[in-house]
A = this chain, B = another copy of it.
């Protein structure tokens, strides 16, 4: 049994959907971010980073979305959520997820989490103003360069799809119209219809 720690409206949604896609046996534990649960004991004993997602397994706790996604794909290989035995195709998938993790998520985080990288209110306001520009640039690269279609990595649905869906769901709040990116927009609509996505979103909203 796995225990999955998440909070609503965070990147944990990607792993949550993947757990549903994989049919993994897991128990969900939602943290209350408004109450600061992620930065308090006992959660810091589970994940000293004070963030989500975290996936507690029989051998220990895993953190970081790209690592958790690959773990789910590798632990439930019958679902073929990643081309595990093709080093090039697996690397392309991991490259896509690394871009989401280190560039897209990071760009978005400058809207609300500027205190990670600066101290002055004026800097935070400056960062917030730039969000539509940086997020648009990220999704333009995805739209025209990285996204293969019909799924992120081509013909097969993979662990890149719930991650892309999750970050695309932030565009509206970031002041970016997803319709500017027709392929990403179409993907978002198809993802929204999947049972795994509906189930994860229902759990996050419950």
A residues near B, CB below 8 A?
48-49, 57, 59-60, 62-68, 70-71, 74-75, 87-88, 90-92, 94-95, 97-99, 101-102, 105-107, 110, 116-120, 122-123, 126-127, 129-130, 134, 141, 145
Contact = CB atoms under 8 A, between A and B. Distances in A.
9 contacts: A62-B91, A64-B98, A67-B92, A68-B91, A102-B102, A106-B106, A117-B134, A118-B126, A120-B122
Contacts of A95: 62-64, 67-68
A117 B116 CA distance: 12
Nearest to A89: B59
Q: Secondary structure at chain A's binding surface: helix, strand, loop or mixed?
A: helix
A116 B103 CA distance: 10
Contacts of A107: 116-117
Contacts of A92: 60, 62, 67
